Chain A
Amino acid sequence: MTPPMTPPVTGRGPVLSVRDISKTFPGQRALSSVDLTVQPGEVHALLGHNGSGKSTLIKVLAGFHVPDAGGEVLVNGEPLELGAPSRSHERGLRFVHQDLALLGPMTVAENMAFTIGHVRTRVGTIDRDSERSRTTALMDRIGIQVDVDAKVEDLDPIDRAIVGIARALDGLDGNGGLLVLDEPTAALPPHEVGRLFAVVRDLRDRGVSCLYVTHRMDEVHELTDTFTVLRDGEVVQSGRTADYSGDELIGFILGAQARQQTRTPGGARESTDGEGRAGAALVVENLRAARVERFSLSVAPGEVVGIAGVMGSGREFIGPALTGAVSATADRYQTSRGPIGAISPRNTRRHGVVMVPGTRGPGSMIESFSVTENLTFATLDRYSRLGWLDRPGERRAATSWVQRFGVRPADPDRALRYLSGGNKQKVLVAKWLNTDPSVVVMDEPTAGVDVGASAAIHDMIVDVAAQGVACIVTSSDLDDLIAVATRVIVMDRGVVTATLSGEQIEKNSILSAMSGATDARADRADRADLADLMERSRQPDHLDLEEPHV
């Protein structure tokens, strides 16, 4: 067990001072001469798009990356030895990563012991009682009661996050110390975010500063005192949060030109509500699946329907339900090719209804396959005769997509795992567009790609629609919907609560439709009986897809 450690507090200087830190990876400058200061008792927001350098900076602080020569990091005024995780830990830098790395089937106390050391009895066996009381003490310190004998997998996401924080704080006694929270709310339902904020504020009041990484702008003003915005590895702005409006902060994150992005609803992009039209690309009535209740939709060829909704609204389950990735039923499911039988991936694929998933993780792509093999995998029948692959044909098709989307490196034979996230996303989109779909559902099409690439993806969606494909875009990023949608559907708890079109498709209208839905939900939640609430809280927060076998 690590002995309790009191980081030396020398003077009243900044708790963390990053000076002129750069980090160059082969072929890429991830950080260039970054400065960042966190004062004692301050919550400092670290903002920026994915790929802006936030993660690299955190890994430098944690000692996982050695930065380029030249810069320095001071903790409480004294230089930190860089590239040594144990040194960072001793000096009071503590990290709670997005992936909490807790073992679900083991108890809270057991999880604690794994990272902070086991308590031994005199004969060398594990002293369970001491471990339990130690864990209780750690939880008490942040003022939260969690059953230390509960299995972590049975806890609510918020309690899991708090266990992660308590574990990180072990050995950090007294004043000083810096807690780095990397997108702690990404996995939390909205109503539990407040509990996390309370913990962070409480820690701040007791002298533990916080470097808070987030994508959610509403959290920045609510929680943080100061901020730093990174873009392309450089600090573009820092200051006191209160001095800047949310729009200004978004402007810093996106860069100047992106804010002027305007809708270009030409005549062809007028809302064409496909309801009742004989030529609808897809008509669905009363679609039901896990987290989706009686969802109805009709989309015309060339239309782009945006689906908005807060996390947990069911928005992200529309694509999987429409394509049979999760088990789903509907009273009516009809495409231009006629009614579908069972909603299965095989049937929907045959009817030209495809989904571009929002994550590039397992289930979306095969990392060990080449770009070509990934690109053609959804349409192998087109590149084969009697089961015999036409490999030159595959390669030609892949080469043309690689050129068209500007995939880097422009090598169709390269294994996918060697591509960056943005380039993988391009291959993923190309894979499904290459099937000549009549309906494309895209979930979070711009998640994790930089501003330039998201503009390109927006153009691409508009372009695909112009070729007569019906597009359904489900996104938590309103800019996606505003940029491309001809109609926006707002969802809450699995049902449609509002439909907006034309002039209504702008940020405030969508937000008010969404918040109206959320208020209504809060009312309903008040009335809902306890059993229902408990049932909801037990539902897993991930897609309940069939486990890949073996």
Chain B
Amino acid sequence: MSDLAVEPVAADEKTARSARSGLARLSFRNVGAVYVWLAIIVLFGVLSPDSFLTADTARTVLNNYSVTGLVALSLVIPMAAGLFDASVGNMVGLAGIFSAYAVATWDLGGGTAILLTLVLCALCGLFNGFVVVVLRVHSLIGTLATGSLFLALTLAISKEQSITQNVGRLRSVLAGHYVLTVTIPVIVFLALTVVLTVVMDRTTVGRSWYALGFDAEVGRLVGLRVRSLQMTALVIAAVISGVAGMLLTARIGSASPAVGPSYLLPAFAAVFLGATQFRGGRFNAPGTAVAVLMIGTGTIGLSLAGAPTWSSQVFQGVVLIAAIALSSFGRRG
């Protein structure tokens, strides 16, 4: 092997590299969303200094966008593993309605209803896995279809009515108290961001999911259980978005059957924008969280500045396009 041994890396090459990577970490390409976020804060700070630059605004952004944030985070693992899950929006709606139905119609306690809902979410995730992994339907099409079934189930259970009866039982478990002036959904959102960051960066299963997303064949040839990994990714996505649905019901104090689909677009916008941040093209939790907060700050800022309500839809659409354009640039470069 001696022929292959070569001179060690020159010391100056090493220093140059570390200086380069230090700068690269702060480059617009790597953390662009953070700069855009700061720019948004400055912009609305100038436009409406009295109402925008307050602790209340910060709290409102966190409280209102933690559910969106959870739905976005639920997409991190399947997207990393190369699978779309377009059913998460309707999963939010189904979990929200089902948990409310369980306390209202079956008169269950809060904790029991939550556990039962989690089981339902896991089953829905398994069903996604069956369609995508076993039947080999393309994940985007397959989960659009299963999402449609979840929506149908939601409408059937609720008889297309909102449910409010006994929902306070869910609220007392999930949203009743404040921790450090923020609600429980905020805590769950921030905690999940940390957990997913650690899982994706520091565990073998996280590394394996990324590998499947980039090239599933490489994973198969080193002996990974490709199907179980894909299945698990979809189950986790369904459970996380189900938790988001229950938190939403608990926070509002009522469950509406029509609420789910509106979470899908911002969640995808955030997870795609997040992929352009911090990890050089990989879907990741901290990038997604920052993207959600950026979208939230922009939307709340717009409403405080007196912009019409439809302006927030414009903002989300623009962010989604910008995110995907940015991420395809990242992949090319």
Contact = CB atoms under 8 A, between A and B. Distances in A.
B138 interface: yes
Contacts of B204: 380-381, 384, 387-389
B9 interface: yes
B interface SS class: helix
B142 to A, nearest CB: 10
Contacts of A381: 204
A323 interface: yes
A406 B5 contact: yes
Interface string A360-382: 00111111110001000110110
Contact of A410 (B9, B205, B207, B218): B9
Contact of A365 (B6, B218, B280): B218
B202 A406 contact: no
B3 A459 contact: yes
A459 B1 contact: yes
B211 interface: yes
A102 to B, nearest CB: 24
Q: Which of A456, A459, A549 has the most CB atoms of chain B within a 10 A radius of its CB?
A: A549
A459 B217 CA distance: 30
A415 B210 CA distance: 14
Given A405-B4, A550-B139, A369 B211 contact: yes
Interface string B183-216: 0000000000000000000111101101100111
Nearest to B202: A389
A494 interface: no
A133 interface: no
Given A368-B281, A460-B1, A377 B203 contact: no
Interface residues of A, number: 45
B22 interface: no
A403 B7 CA distance: 8
Contacts of B83: 550
A26 to B, nearest CB: 15
Contact of B4 (A365, A384, A404): A404
B251 interface: no
Contact of A368 (B3, B216, B221, B282): B282
B82 interface: yes
A276 interface: no
Interface in A329-354: 344-347, 349-350
Contacts of A389: 202-204, 207
A548 B280 CA distance: 23
A546 interface: yes
A389 B1 CA distance: 29
B216 A349 contact: no
A380 B208 contact: yes
B220 interface: yes
Contact of A363 (B13, B203, B221, B282): B221
Contact of A403 (B5, B136, B224): B5
Interface size on B, as a range, is: 35 or more
B131 to A, nearest CB: 13
B17 interface: yes
Interface in B155-174: none
Contacts, number: 104
Contact of A325 (B136, B210, B216, B221): B221
B82 A550 contact: yes
Nearest to B203: A387
Contact of B6 (A367, A403, A411): A403
A124 B202 CA distance: 59
Contacts of A548: 215-217
A545 interface: yes
Interface in B1-19: 1, 3-6, 8-9, 13, 17
B81 to A, nearest CB: 9
A549 B82 contact: yes
Nearest to B7: A406
B290 to A, nearest CB: 21
Contacts of A455: 3
Given A391-B202, A460-B1, A549-B136, A349 B6 contact: no
B214 A367 contact: yes
B306 interface: no
B220 A546 contact: yes
Contacts of B220: 345, 546
A479 to B, nearest CB: 17
Nearest to A466: B1
B179 interface: no
Interface in B114-152: 133, 136, 138-139
Contacts of A275: none
Contacts of B82: 549-550
A377 B21 CA distance: 24
Nearest to A384: B204
Contact of A377 (B5, B9, B207): B207
A350 B133 CA distance: 25
A419 to B, nearest CB: 15
A127 interface: no
Interface string A490-511: 0000000000000000000000
A158 to B, nearest CB: 29
A366 B202 contact: no
B138 A363 contact: no
A460 B5 CA distance: 11
A463 interface: yes
B214 A366 contact: yes
B222 interface: yes
A91 to B, nearest CB: 31
A224 B282 CA distance: 49
Contacts of B221: 323, 325, 345, 355, 363
Contacts of B214: 366-369
B230 A549 contact: yes
A420 to B, nearest CB: 15
Interface of B: 1, 3-6, 8-9, 13, 17, 21, 82-84, 133, 136, 138-139, 202-205, 207-208, 210-211, 214-218, 220-226, 230, 280-282
26 contacts: A345-B222, A345-B223, A349-B222, A349-B223, A363-B215, A365-B215, A366-B211, A366-B214, A366-B215, A368-B214, A369-B211, A377-B211, A384-B203, A384-B204, A387-B203, A391-B202, A404-B4, A406-B5, A406-B6, A411-B17, A413-B21, A545-B217, A549-B82, A549-B230, A550-B83, A550-B216
Given A406-B6, A548-B217, 9 more contacts: A325-B221, A344-B223, A363-B218, A368-B281, A380-B207, A381-B204, A404-B4, A410-B9, A549-B216
Closest 7 CB pairs of A and B: A406-B6, A346-B223, A363-B217, A349-B223, A548-B216, A378-B222, A410-B9
